[in-house]
């Protein structure tokens, strides 16, 4: 047999072997979720791994902190699985039969998804992107955004906080302007975590001052607290209203009155 034919067959055989090896490597390559499971199999819960990342940077992870910088791809899915297991243990300790009760059979998984992906999502995801526009027209008139519907949770009992937020902004000629929808997105991001209302509005005011750099910013929040309605005094009518006034809103009583008067009309 000529040498050229033998070499050609060897090349084809080598190519087939290489392709088979590549397919095997792809099939065996661990996905993010598989990697998460292997961590759990090593006896170290994913929550502990994330906590160690935070502690290595000497940061804190209070209930109303954002820890997105310590969350890696696939971690949120892993946290849902871990929380679901622990929530199942809570249901069992409450003596709820989740096997024969069709209503609670998958409750632990549903609650875990709700906490991680919705109610407390502001802890785990990065701040929404805020597109800024230059103040070309040198606008310096009062703007009021609201009411913005907000949903949060009391960090004392993890009960819902449901309410509305009004935002007042007095830009300067040098201030950045952001789209109206961004006020709602930023507000939701701040509120979607366990906290107390007094701190939530301060945090929101801090964020707006940092991003827009206005002459003044004002925030009023009016909310129902289910930790008062479901438990304790069980008062269904009590609400909490608090405000934060910064810059011109704090110094100028007329501007403050204008903001509050216009807010009341909405």
pLDDT tens per residue across span 41-82: 578 999 999 999 999 999 999 999 999 999 999 999 999 999
Regarding whether 219 and 116 lie in a shared domain, the answer is no
Extract the tokens encoding 117.
Answer: 């992906």
Q: Phi, psi at residue 101, to the nearest 5°?
A: -90, 105
Distance CA 122, CA 66 (A): 7
Regarding whether 139 and 78 lie in a shared domain, the answer is no
DSSP 3-state of 141: coil
Residue 255 lies in a domain: yes
- pLDDT at site 41: 56
Regarding whether 242 and 162 lie in a shared domain, the answer is yes
- Going by their DSSP bridges, the two strands 176-178 and 160-170 should be labelled as unpaired
Average pLDDT of the chain to the nearest whole number: 86
Distance CA 219, CA 204 (A): 8
Residue 150 lies in a domain: yes
Domain interval for residue 101: 32-123
Label residue 146 exposed, middle or buried (CB < 10 Å: 0-12, 13-18, 19+).
Answer: buried
21-35, 56-70, 82-96, 233-247: range with lowest mean pLDDT: 21-35
Extract the tokens encoding 88.
Answer: 């199942």
DSSP 3-state of 162: strand
Confidence bin at 37 (pLDDT 50/70/90): very low
Regarding whether 102 and 45 lie in a shared domain, the answer is yes
Q: Which of 61, 96, 123 is the last residue of a domain?
A: 123
Confidence bin at 23 (pLDDT 50/70/90): very low
Regarding whether 173 and 248 lie in a shared domain, the answer is yes
Regarding whether 141 and 107 lie in a shared domain, the answer is no
Regarding whether 260 and 136 lie in a shared domain, the answer is yes
Regarding whether 209 and 96 lie in a shared domain, the answer is no
* Helix residue ranges, H only, 94-196: 107-114, 180-191
Regarding whether 136 and 119 lie in a shared domain, the answer is no
Residue 20 lies in a domain: no
When divided into structural domains, the chain yields a total of: 2
CB atoms within 10 A of CB 203: 18
Q: Which of 123, 148, 170 is the last residue of a domain?
A: 123
Distance CA 186, CA 165 (A): 12
pLDDT tens column, 197-210: 999 999 999 999 99
CATH of the domain at 93: 1.10.286
CATH of the domain at 246: 3.30.1130.10
Confidence bin at 40 (pLDDT 50/70/90): low
Q: Which of 56, 91, 123 is the last residue of a domain?
A: 123
Cβ atoms of 123 and 193 closer than 8 Å: yes
Q: Which of 116, 91, 113, 114 is nearest to 104 (CA)?
A: 91
CA angle 163, 169, 174 (to 5 degrees): 150
Confidence bin at 25 (pLDDT 50/70/90): very low
Regarding whether 241 and 136 lie in a shared domain, the answer is yes
User: Given a cut of 90, is residue 30 above it in pLDDT?
Assistant: no
Residue 68 lies in a domain: yes
User: Given a cut of 90, is residue 232 above it in pLDDT?
Assistant: no
């Amino acid at each position: 047999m000529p040498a050229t034919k033998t070499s050609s067959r060897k090349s084809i055989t080598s190519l087939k072997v290489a392709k088979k090896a590549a397919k095997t490597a792809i099939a065996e390559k661990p996905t993010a979720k598989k990697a998460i499971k292997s961590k759990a199999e090593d006896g170290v819960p994913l929550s502990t791994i994330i906590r160690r990342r935070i502690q290595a940077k000497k940061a804190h992870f209070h209930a109303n902190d954002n820890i997105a910088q310590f969350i890696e791809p696939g971690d949120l899915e892993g946290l849902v699985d871990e929380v679901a297991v622990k929530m199942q243990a809570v249901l069992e300790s409450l003596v709820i039969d989740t096997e024969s009760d069709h209503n609670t059979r998958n409750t632990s998984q549903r609650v875990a998804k709700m906490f991680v992906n919705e109610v407390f999502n502001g802890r785990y995801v990065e701040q929404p992107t805020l597109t800024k526009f230059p103040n070309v027209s040198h606008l310096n008139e009062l703007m009021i955004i609201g009411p913005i519907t907000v949903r949060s949770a009391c960090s004392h009992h993890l009960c819902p906080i449901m309410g509305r937020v009004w935002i007042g902004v007095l830009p300067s000629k040098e201030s950045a302007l952001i789209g109206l929808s961004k006020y709602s997105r930023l507000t939701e991001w701040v509120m979607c975590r366990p906290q107390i209302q007094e701190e939530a509005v301060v945090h929101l005011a801090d964020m707006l001052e940092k991003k827009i750099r206005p002459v003044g910013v004002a925030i009023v929040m009016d909310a129902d607290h289910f930790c008062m309605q479901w438990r304790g005094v069980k008062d269904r009518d009590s609400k909490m209203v608090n405000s934060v006034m910064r810059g011109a809103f704090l110094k100028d009583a007329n501007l403050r009155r204008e903001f509050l008067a216009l807010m009341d009309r909405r």
